[in-house]
Structure 1
């Protein structure tokens, strides 16, 4: 489904964000990427849909190069990739339903979407998506009236209404309390299992990674230092990923991190 071929990313200031990444992510996997702030997690995740451009190598989506794609072809590939952000990325003054319907924008012409002229089928799809994340009763509520956890579930529903084949989630629970974190992660896992949507999540929390992932990828300074199933993600392996910071992170407990 997703393949990284010798992928590197060098920022204009010379910092190496990614160093010769070679990965294959199979359809239906639930991948959690872990590592310290600045390890390259966001860079890796956002390079999949080209929110970040890579400097070298190639990324394949379903045997098609998104790295080389342009124009209509690029839009078509991106249409299959839903993105969930740490800050929810909703239009706060719009209703929940309108935000979820924005996931349908790539399927229609600009004029139709500007005026919100979505067909009934799209509205039903959006309502079903909201129902799947247990928030359909908020469909006509303004998004800024929701709690953080509810807003994040709206963003998950948007990806579902998009009919995404891949969901990318960049620190989706960093700003949420433990109970809401569990609700959001449960939603993502349920969607992954029931719909077979390939899911790639950046997380800072070791315990959550172990609980939800089918496979963990550890990054350190832009390099893959661990890639394996959860039962191989031992404390010793996490020590390699986090280095001397691991003990401090465990002492402080779950915390969020900013963009890398």
Structure 2
């Protein structure tokens, strides 16, 4: 981890068209190499925050900087280039189930191609080699030609990680990556994310419900409640009672943690 801020979230608010407040005055910095875990009840704003970082959602006000550049103000080619640096893993894997693992992983490379070549699957040999290496990192190289729907849920999520790696990202966003997996498989998926963080220096920001996984894998815990940032501490400073407060089980948090 370095002292350089890779993600800067400045006074961000998100209000949906129906008036629901998704995020309220969020200020948060993420340093290069951190493994951030965001926790909170369903509806706390965790997914909204993640999807704002790579601009799957536009925010209502405020700004988000990626490596010093505003992704909120970026358009056209600049926005596409910035999004290549921010890969995302989804709870439901988002694979094309009838397509091969090969095709699914290579689809992570489409940000480097025009729509014509990517639609026809005209990928370079170097990209195919990279796809094999990405699958090797998640121990699934032998599944290269299998159909995605022939894999277990855990294997599909690890294929999704390999696909995200094809972007050669600086940041990996993971939105409840283990929510539909059993405990043993959840550990394998989280091990893969931690390996990318430690070995490749990829900054990871993950939403998790499981408190044990949050403490085991995160270097810093962020708590959200009703769209507000209510907790921010290094993992070694976090206690079980902190989770009770984040989830509103014992009362309100009055003082936010440090490391902003």
Q: Shorter-chain TM-score: what band? A: over 0.9
CA shift digits 1:92-139 (9 cap, x unpaired): 111001100001111112221111110100000000000010000000
3-state DSSP class of the match of 2:96?
A: coil
Aligned residue number for residue 82 of structure 2 = 77
Following superposition, the deviation at residue 221 of structure 1 comes to: 0.8
Q: Does 1:237 align with 2:242?
A: yes
Aligned residue number for residue 201 of structure 2 = 196
Q: Please report the RMSD computed on the Cα atoms of aligned residues, expressed in angstroms.
A: 1.1
- Map residues 115-130 of structure 1 onto 2, 5 A cutoff: 115-130=120-135
Instruction: Give the Cα separation in 2 of the matches to 1:97 and 1:189.
Output: 23
Aligned residue number for residue 165 of structure 1 = 170
Q: Does 1:39 align with 2:26?
A: no
Task: Identify unmatched segments of 5+ residues in structure 2.
Answer: 1-5, 252-260
- Map residues 8-23 of structure 1 onto 2, 5 A cutoff: 8-23=13-28
Aligned residue number for residue 136 of structure 2 = 131
Instruction: Give the Cα separation in 2 of the matches to 1:148 and 1:216.
Output: 26
Following superposition, the deviation at residue 23 of structure 1 comes to: 0.4
Instruction: Give the Cα separation in 2 of the matches to 1:147 and 1:78.
Output: 29
Aligned residue number for residue 52 of structure 1 = 57
CA shift digits 1:201-223 (9 cap, x unpaired): 00011111000000000001111
Following superposition, the deviation at residue 236 of structure 1 comes to: 2.1
Aligned residue number for residue 256 of structure 2 = none
Greater alpha carbon shift after TM alignment, 190-199 vs 235-244: 235-244
Instruction: Give the Cα separation in 2 of the matches to 1:159 and 1:39.
Output: 25
Aligned residue number for residue 3 of structure 2 = none
Following superposition, the deviation at residue 245 of structure 1 comes to: 8.4
TM superposition score normalised by structure 1: 0.93
Aligned residue number for residue 147 of structure 2 = 142
The alignment covers a number of residue pairs equal to 246
| Conserved? CA contact 1:225–1:240, under 8 Å | no
- Map residues 87-106 of structure 1 onto 2, 5 A cutoff: 87-106=92-111
